[in-house]
Amino acid sequence: MAKDFQASKPIYVQIADHLSYQIVRGELKTGEKLPSVREMAILSGVNPNTIQRTYSEMERMGIVETKRGQGTFVTENEHVLKELKIRLQNDIIAVFVQNMKDLGFSQEDMIKGLQQYLRREEM
């Protein structure tokens, strides 16, 4: 796992984001068991209290489920996973749009630029 964390975001959020990506990309399957809090702490070199918070937060969002005495599992709720995918998409778009705005591009420029880029990709 990425050991370098951004300064501006809580570490528990960054680990939750990382896990969310893994779930959407299918690297973590629906219904799959996540490492225990301690295992995850060791894997990522992070305080277990932080990992506990990551898991609680993801549980609150419905992305994972904790079964008593068994551990934490990726949800099998397709609806939640679809929403998660859209949320990640929106996050990426938000960053893209902000960066473009900072560079002084208008909405039109952005769309044009993106279309051109995608056309080139296709070729």
Partner 1 sequence: MTVVLRNVSKSYGRDFSVKNVSLTFETGKIYGLLGPNGSGKSTTLKMITGLVYPSKGTVEVGKEKVTRKTCQKVAYLTELDTFYPSFTVGKMIDFYASQFADFDPRKARQLLQDMKLDRSKKIKQLSKGNRGRLKLVLALSRNTPVLLLDEPFSGLDPMVRESIVKSLLSYINFNEQTVIIATHEIDELEPLLDEAIVIVQGSIIGQKNVEQLREEEGLSVLEWFKSTIAQMKGD
Interface characters, 15-54, with partner 1 (x: CB under 8 A): -----------------------x--xx-xxxxxxx--x-
Which of the ranges 2-10, 28-36, 70-78, 101-109 carries the binding residues for partner 1, by CB under 8 A? 2-10
Please state the closest distance from residue 48 (CB atom) to partner 1, in A.
6
Q: φ, ψ for residue 4 (rounded to 5)?
A: -90, 120
Q: Which residue lies nearer to partner 1 by CB, 5 or 73? A: 5
List phi, psi (to 5°) of 106: -85, 170
CA atoms within 13 A on the CB side of 13: 5
Q: Are 54 and 19 a contacting pair, CB within 8 Å? A: yes
93 binds partner 1 (CB under 8 A): no
Q: 13 or 88: whose CB is closer to partner 1? A: 13
61 contacts partner 1 (rule: CB under 8 A): no
What distances in angstroms separate CA 112 from CA 73, 96, 102, one per listed residue? 42, 14, 17
2 binds partner 1 (CB under 8 A): no
Q: How far apart are CA 43 and CA 4, in angstroms?
A: 13
Beta partners for 73?
33, 65
Binding site for partner 1 (CB under 8 A): 3, 5, 7-12, 38, 41-42, 44-50, 53
